[in-house]
């Protein structure tokens, strides 16, 4: 029988402040000057047959939630420091389903796809008890593709089908809902600009920047016709957006002008992207199953994170300030050392 173990790699790295970088307004290919290699600090194996598709880490870096292909025990919450499984839940999953952890680390969320209609489950991290099962009031939630807590933890947003829907996590009260794409929303960014904005990506290559409170579309970008967007990240100050699609290179955008700065070649058909809190570096899935940390402006590679032997499907990042970050990377692979 083919063995497919799911390994979660926790990697500590330094994200230095990158000063004196010149701005290049025209799209250019990234260059490398020999990045520093960083190896995993620890790993967690879910012990389930089937690839892991999603991961989210708490802000303090102590707790992680994972979602795995399968039918039983495939949503798991772990204590990273103890490498101890805290809880596991059955959530039949045959595709990529998102997960999230509240900023205070006390509440975890995951989505379902085989319950009709799909829902969002909220769990208490300490006890594992289900706090709420959330579904839209006036419509069915389409296939879930994004799940994010606001920085203040007072709003949980899910993208599903054409729509974005938001609830108050403590009460389960639905706060917002709007149609975000003509076809399907396929990616959701982090909150940015003090939690006031979020970006969505669609199945036909359109990125939209939204004001969350009013559901007003502030900006629209096009990465290319019929290019399904699979990953989005925006710098905290809202100046830089990074997008990944199935087939074309990763794109780095200047949101102030709406112009493409440059592109980044990445291997595989499913790229994941993140922007660390400093707003000056990009983390993305690179060649040979490694993760690359590079300068936003110049494309100079700072670190190469090694340890995976198969494609990485999901990334989650937490930081204490602008200099130290911990990364959780989830992959489908047969074996990985720490």
Q: What is the average per-residue pLDDT within 172-188?
A: 94
* 75 pLDDT higher than 80: yes
pLDDT for position 83: 86
Q: Return the domain boundaries, the chain.
A: 7-16+26-331
| Residue 222: CA count within 13 A, CB half-sphere | 4
Q: What is the rounded distance in angstroms from the CA atom of residue 283 to the CA atom of residue 61? A: 17
Q: What was the pLDDT predicted at 13? A: 46
Task: State both tokens at 264.
Answer: 């980044």
- Total residue count of the chain as it appears in this document: 338
Tokens of 322: 């602008």
Q: For residue 39, what are its two tokens?
A: 């190896």
Architecture of the domain delimited by 7-16+26-331: 7 Propeller (2.130)
Pairing of strands 291-295, 7-14: unpaired
Distance CA 133, CA 126 (A): 18
Average pLDDT, rounded, for the chain? 79
pLDDT for the residue numbered 59: 87
Please give the Cα distance from 200 to 219 (Å, whole number): 11
Give how far Cα 213 sits from Cα of 140, 171, 198, 313, Å.
22, 18, 10, 30
pLDDT at 134 over 50: yes
pLDDT tens profile 10-66: 544 444 332 222 333 334 344 444 566 666 666 777 776 666 678 888 888 888 898
- Name the percent of the chain in helix, strand, coil, to the closest 5: 0, 50, 50
Number of Cβ within a 10 Å radius of residue 83? 13
Token digits of residue 58: 């708490």
The answer to whether the CB of 15 falls within 8 A of the CB of 281 is yes
pLDDT single digits (tens) 255-296: 999 999 998 876 555 678 888 887 888 888 766 667 788 888
Return the sign of the alpha-carbon dihedral for residues 38, 46, 3, 115. negative
- CA dihedral (88, 274, 308, 11) positive or negative: negative
What is the distance of C-alpha 45 from the center of its chain? Answer: 20
Place of tokens 């499984």: 85
Which residues does 253 contact at the CB level (< 8 Å), separation at least 6? 207, 221, 240, 241, 242, 243, 259, 260, 261
Rounded CA gap, 73 and 153, in Å?
Answer: 27
């Amino acid at each position: 029988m083919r063995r497919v173990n799911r390994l979660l790699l926790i990697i500590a790295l330094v994200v230095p402040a990158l000063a004196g970088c010149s701005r290049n307004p025209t799209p250019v290919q990234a260059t490398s000057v020999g990045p520093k290699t960083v190896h995993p600090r620890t790993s967690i194996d879910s012990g389930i047959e089937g690839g892991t598709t999603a991961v989210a880490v708490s802000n303090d870096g102590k707790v992680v939630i994972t979602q795995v292909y399968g039918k039983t025990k495939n949503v798991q919450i772990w204590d990273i420091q103890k490498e101890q499984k805290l809880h596991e839940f059955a959530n039949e999953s045959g595709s990529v389903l998102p997960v999230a952890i509240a900023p205070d680390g006390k509440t975890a969320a995951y989505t379902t796809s085989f319950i009709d209609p799909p829902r969002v489950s909220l769990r208490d991290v300490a006890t594992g008890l289900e706090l709420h099962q959330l579904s839209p009031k006036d419509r069915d939630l389409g296939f879930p593709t994004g799940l994010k807590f606001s920085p203040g933890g007072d709003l949980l947003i899910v993208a599903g089908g054409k729509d974005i829907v938001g609830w108050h996590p403590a009460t389960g009260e639905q706060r917002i809902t709007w149609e975000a794409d003509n076809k399907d929303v396929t990616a959701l960014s982090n909150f940015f600009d003090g939690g006031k904005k979020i970006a969505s990506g669609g199945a036909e290559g359109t990125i939209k920047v939204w004001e969350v409170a009013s559901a007003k579309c502030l900006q629209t970008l096009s990465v290319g016709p019929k290019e399904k967007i699979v990953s989005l990240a925006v710098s905290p100050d809202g100046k830089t957006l990074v997008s990944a699609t199935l087939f074309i290179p990763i794109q780095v955008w200047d949101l102030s002008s709406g112009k493409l700065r440059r592109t980044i070649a990445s291997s595989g058909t499913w790229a994941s992207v993140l922007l660390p809190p400093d707003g000056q570096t990009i983390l993305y899935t690179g060649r040979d199953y490694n993760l690359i940390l590079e300068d936003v402006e110049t494309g100079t590679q700072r670190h190469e994170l090694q340890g995976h032997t198969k494609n990485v499907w999901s990334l989650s990042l937490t930081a204490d300030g602008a200099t130290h970050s911990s990364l959780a990377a989830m992959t489908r692979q047969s074996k990985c050392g720490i």
